C-alpha cells in the first residue's frame, strides 16, 4: 500500500516544535512491513495546505495517517485548543483523496474515542503504532473481514484491548533518512527514547493512556548505536524524551556509561524525577554530555506533594537539585499550583521553596489540566467542577475554588518580579 504519514504538529503559538520521532517510528515499521511510505512534517512546511495537496497528488496514498501530538497547550489562562485547526487539515485530505484517514499520537491516545469523533477520521490507534498500524493496513488490504486489530478505534466503537511490546528492541528506532533530511537544522535537539511507560501514578497524569505503566526498555547499546548514527549526520544535541530518565537508576547509569564509552561529544537534556538519584548517577550524566534537566517537583508543600501522589519530599528535591548544580547541569524546575487542597499558605510555601533552590529556570503553571480516567478527574467530578459526562477533550482545568480570584495574579506578580 502507499501510505502518507502527516505530522500535524504545526503549532504556531511560539512553542518549540519537536522533530516527529513517534511518527518516524511508525514510518519505519510500516516500511518494514513492505509498504511505500512518505512522511510529511508540517512543522517544517510554510504552507501546510499546499504541502498536503502536493504530497497526495504525487503519492496517491491508499491510507493517510495523521499524528496528533498535542490537544492543547495546557495553559489555563489562555488555552489553545489545537484540534479545531486540525479539522481543516482533515477536510483538505478528504477533498483531494478518498484514502481512509487514521489518527494516532500522544495527544490522540489520551482521547481515542472523543478525538476520533471530533475530527471525523475513519480509524484511530491508541498508544504505540509500530505493530497496530501495519496490522490495520493488512486488515484493510484483506477487506476488513474480521474484527479490527487490537488498539484500533472505529467511530463510536470501543477498540479491542491493545497490548504493549515488552522488549522495545523489537521496535527499532527509525533510520535517520526517514525523518532527518538535508533540510533539518543540525543544531536541533533530536528526540531519543530509551524507555516507555511510567508506573508512578501521579494523580493528574495521562502517560499510562499513551505508554502504559510498566517501564519497558531498549538495550542501552542499541540506543547509543542509534545516537552514533544520527551523530554521524552532524547532530550532537539530543533530548531524551523518556518520562523519567532516572528510572530505574541502574539502567540510567548503564546508558550513560555506554555513551561515555562511545566517545561521542554529545549535549543532551533529560527529564528527572527527584528521587532515586545519587552522586554517581549525576556525575555519569554530566560526563555523558547531559547539560540540562527538567525537574518536575511541582510543589514544595508536604500535604500537596502527598495529594499529588509524589514519592519524594522537599529534602529529596533539595539534595538532588544541589547535586545537579554541583555537576554544572542546568536545572529547569516546574511548579504546578492550584490542585486539590492547595491554599494560599501552601502556594507561598512552594514559591519560597522554589526560590531557595536557585534554579536556572522556573516554570509556574496555574491550574492542572484534567485528563480522563485519572484520580484528579474523579475528584473534579465529585466536587462538581466538571460534569460526569464531560469527555474533557476541550481543555478543562482543576483550580482550587478558594484560589481562583487570587492565584493567577499572585503568580503573575512572581513572574514579573
Ligand atoms: C518529551 C516531551 C516534550 C518535549 C519534546 C522534546 C523533543 N525534542 O522531542 C518538550 C519539553 C519540548 C515538550 C513540549 C510540549 N509538550 Co510535551 N511531551 C513530551 C513527552 C514526555 C514525550 C513525547 C515523545 O517524544 N514520545 C516518544 C515518541 C516515540 O512517542 P509518540 O510521539 O507518542 O509516538 C508513538 C505513538 O503515539 C504512536 N503514534 C505517533 N504518531 C502516530 C501517527 C499514527 C497515524 C499512528 C497510528 C500512531 C502514531 O506511535 C509512536 C511510536 O510508538 C509526552 C508525554 C508522553 N509520554 O507521550 C509529552 C506530551 C506529548 N506533551 C504535551 C504538551 C501539552 C506539550 C506542550 C504543549 C507543553 C507546553 N505548553 O509547552 C509542548 C508542545 C511542543 C510542541 N510544539 O509540540 C502533552 C500533550 C497532551 C496535550 N494536552 O495536548 C503530553 C502528552 C504530556 C501530557 N501532559 O500528557 N514535550
Ligand atoms: S512521574 Fe511523570 S510520567 Fe510518571 S506518573 Fe508522574 S507525571 Fe506521569
**270 C-alpha to center of ligand 2: Å?**
14
156 CA → ligand 1 middle, Å: 25
Residue range 140-162: average pLDDT? 90
DSSP 8-state secondary structure symbol assigned to residue 239: E
pLDDT at 350: 98
What is this structure's pTM? Answer: 0.97
The band of 309, judged by pLDDT with boundaries at 50, 70 and 90, is very high
Q: In the prediction, which pLDDT does 15 show?
A: 64
Do 53 and 92 contact (CB within 8 A), yes or no? yes
Give the pLDDT confidence score for residue 274 in this predicted structure.
98
Residue in this structure with the C-alpha cell 502536493, named with its chain if needed: 54
The phi, psi pair for 161, rounded to 5°, reads -45, 125
38 Cα–ligand 2 center, Å = 33
70 CA → ligand 1 middle, Å: 7
**Residue nearest atom 6 of ligand 2, based on CA coordinates:** 202
> Residue 11: which pLDDT band, with cuts at 50, 70 and 90?
low
User: 184-416: same fold as 2-153?
Assistant: no
Q: pLDDT tens for residues 176-217?
A: 999 998 888 899 999 999 999 999 999 999 999 999 999 999
Q: Which residues contact 86 (CB under 8 A, 6 or more apart)?
A: 8, 66, 68, 119
How does residue 157 score in pLDDT terms, banded at 50, 70 and 90? confident
Reply yes or no on domain 2-153 having CATH 3.40.630.40. Answer: no
The string of pLDDT tens digits covering residues 264-292 is 999 999 999 999 999 999 999 999 999 99
pLDDT of amino acid 335: 98
Ligand nearest to the CA of 370: 1
Query: pLDDT tens for residues 15-71?
Result: 678 999 999 999 999 999 999 999 998 876 668 899 999 999 999 999 999 999 999
3-class DSSP state of 225 = helix
Higher pLDDT, 151 or 224: 224
**Sign of torsion, CA 255 259 262 268?**
positive
Q: What span, in angstroms and rounded, lies between the C-alpha atoms of 340 and 198?
A: 22
Tell me which H or E stretch contains 86: helix 83-96
Closest ligand 2 atom to the C-alpha of 243? 3
Mean pLDDT computed over every residue of the chain? 95
Beta pairing partners, 192: 240
> pLDDT tens digits, residue range 391-415?
999 999 999 999 999 999 999 999 9
Q: Are strands 63-67 and 2-7 parallel, antiparallel or unpaired?
A: parallel
Whether the Cβ atoms of residue 367 and residue 338 lie closer than 8 Å to each other: yes
336 ligand 1 Cβ < 6 A: no
Q: Is the pLDDT of residue 369 over 70?
A: yes
How many CB atoms within 10 Å of residue 195? 23
Sequence-distant contacts of 375-384: CB under 8 A, at least 24 apart: 375/203, 375/204, 375/309, 376/203, 376/204, 376/339, 376/340, 379/203, 379/340
Chosen CATH of 184-416 out of 3.40.50.300, 3.80.30.20, 3.40.50.12780, 3.30.460.10: 3.80.30.20
Query: What are the boundaries of each domain within the chain?
Result: 2-153, 184-416
In the block, cell 512553542 appears at 15
Question: Is residue 162 predicted with pLDDT exceeding 90?
Answer: no
Among 7, 43, 70, 106, residue to substitute to test ligand 1 (most atoms within 8 Å of Cβ): 106
Mean pLDDT of all residues in 352-373: 98
- Say how far apart CA 121 and CA 155 lie, in whole Å: 8
396 Cβ contact list (under 8 Å, min separation 6):
369, 370, 380, 386, 390
- Compute the radius of gyration of the chain from its Cα atoms: 22
Ligand nearest to the CA of 309: 2
Which residue lies with its CA nearest to atom 8 of ligand 2? 205
Amino acid at each position: 500500500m502507499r501510505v502518507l504519514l502527516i505530522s500535524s504538529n504545526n503549532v504556531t503559538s511560539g512553542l518549540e516544535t519537536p522533530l516527529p520521532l513517534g511518527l518516524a517510528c511508525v514510518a519505519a515499521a510500516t516500511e518494514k512491513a513492505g509498504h511505500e511510505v512518505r512522511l510529511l512534517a508540517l512543522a517544517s512546511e510554510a504552507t501546510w495546505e499546499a504541502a498536503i495537496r502536493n504530497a497526495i497528488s504525487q503519492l496517491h496514498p491508499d491510507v493517510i495517517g495523521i499524528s496528533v501530538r498535542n490537544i492543547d497547550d495546557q495553559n489555563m489562562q489562555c488555552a489553545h485548543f489545537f484540534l479545531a485547526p486540525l479539522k481543516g487539515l482533515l477536510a483538505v485530505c478528504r477533498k483531494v483523496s478518498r484514502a481512509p484517514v487514521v489518527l494516532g499520537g500522544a495527544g490522540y491516545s489520551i482521547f481515542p474515542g472523543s478525538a476520533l469523533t471530533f475530527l471525523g477520521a475513519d480509524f484511530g490507534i491508541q498508544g504505540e503504532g509500530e505493530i497496530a498500524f501495519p496490522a490495520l493496513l493488512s486488515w484493510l488490504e484483506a477487506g476488513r473481514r474480521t474484527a479490527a486489530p487490537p488498539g484500533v478505534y472505529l467511530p463510536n466503537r470501543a477498540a479491542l484491548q491493545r497490548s504493549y511490546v515488552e522488549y522495545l528492541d523489537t521496535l527499532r528506532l527509525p533510520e535517520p533518512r526517514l525523518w532527518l533530511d538535508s533540510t533539518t537544522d543540525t543544531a536541533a535537539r533530536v528526540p531519543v527514547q530509551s524507555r516507555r511507560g511510567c508506573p508512578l501514578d501521579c494523580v493528574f497524569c495521562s502517560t499510562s493512556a499513551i505508554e502504559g505503566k510498566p517501564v519497558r526498555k531498549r538495550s542501552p547499546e542499541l540506543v547509543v548505536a542509534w545516537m552514533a548514527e544520527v551523530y554521524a549526520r552532524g547532530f550532537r544535541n539530543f533530548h531524551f524524551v523518556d518520562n523519567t530518565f532516572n528510572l530505574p537508576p541502574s539502567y540510567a547509569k548503564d546508558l550513560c556509561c555506554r555513551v561515555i564509552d562511545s566517545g561521542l561529544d554529545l549535549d543532551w537534556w533529560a527529564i528527572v524525577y527527584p528521587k532515586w538519584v545519587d552522586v554517581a548517577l549525576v556525575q555519569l550524566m554530566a560526563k555523558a554530555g547531559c547539560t540540562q534537566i527538567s525537574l518536575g517537583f511541582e510543589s514544595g508543600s508536604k500535604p500537596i506533594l502527598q495529594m499529588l501522589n509524589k514519592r519524594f519530599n522537599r529534602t529529596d528535591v533539595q539534595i538532588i537539585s544541589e547535586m545537579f548544580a554541583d555537576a554544572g547541569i542546568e536545572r529547569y524546575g516546574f511548579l504546578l499550583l492550584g490542585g486539590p487542597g492547595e491554599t494560599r499558605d501552601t502556594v507561598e510555601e512552594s514559591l519560597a521553596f522554589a526560590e531557595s533552590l536557585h534554579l536556572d529556570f522556573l516554570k509556574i503553571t496555574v491550574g492542572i489540566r484534567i485528563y480522563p480516567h485519572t484520580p484528579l478527574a474523579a475528584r473534579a467530578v465529585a466536587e462538581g467542577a466538571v460534569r460526569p459526562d464531560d469527555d474533557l477533550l476541550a481543555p478543562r482545568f482543576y483550580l482550587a475554588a478558594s484560589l481562583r480570584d487570587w492565584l493567577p495574579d499572585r503568580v503573575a506578580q512572581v513572574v514579573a518580579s
